[in-house]
Amino acid sequence: MSTMRDLICIGCPIGCFLQVQLEDGTVKTVTGNTCKRGAIYGEKECTNPTRIVTSSVRVKGGIENVVSVKTEGDISKEMIFRCLDLLKGIEMEAPVKINDVVIANAAGTGVNIVATRDIEVK
């Protein structure tokens, strides 16, 4: 069975309108892209969509009460809420340094969740 998916590419700032033709779950063609990244994005988005997860956690004893965090790499879309659930109730102790690991191998994804900024002691 052949289907067509319309996407807006996020591979570069142009934001091309992509059309991805799928046949039995396999990508047959990607059109509308103006660069190679568009074809790669279109195929990946239709076969194995992933995202970077961003959030924040509390900081105890810091000049700020929270620190922003993110996954070090892409994770499967189906794992996003599992990772966010793991962040609930986490409180880091100041000082926090950029790239400090908040959760190693978050939800078995093989990807760490790390701090994205420094928070000094109050």
Position 91 confidence tier, pLDDT thresholds 50, 70, 90: very high
Residues 37-83: tens digit of each pLDDT: 999 999 999 999 999 999 999 999 999 999 999 999 999 999 999 99
Higher pLDDT residue, 103 or 25?
Answer: 103
- Work out the percent of the chain whose per-residue pLDDT is above 70: 100
Phi-psi domain of 121 (left: phi exceeds 0; alpha: psi -120 through 50; beta: other): beta
Smallest CA-to-CA distance from 84 within 102, 66, 61 is with 102
- At the fourth CATH level, which superfamily is domain 54-115? CPE0013-like (3.10.530.10)
Res 108: pLDDT? 97
Mean per-residue pLDDT for 89-115? 97
Q: Where are the domains of the chain?
A: 2-48, 54-115
**Is the model's pLDDT at 1 over the cut of 90?**
no
* Strand 101-103, strand 113-115: pairing: antiparallel
Res 49: pLDDT? 95
Position 8 confidence tier, pLDDT thresholds 50, 70, 90: very high
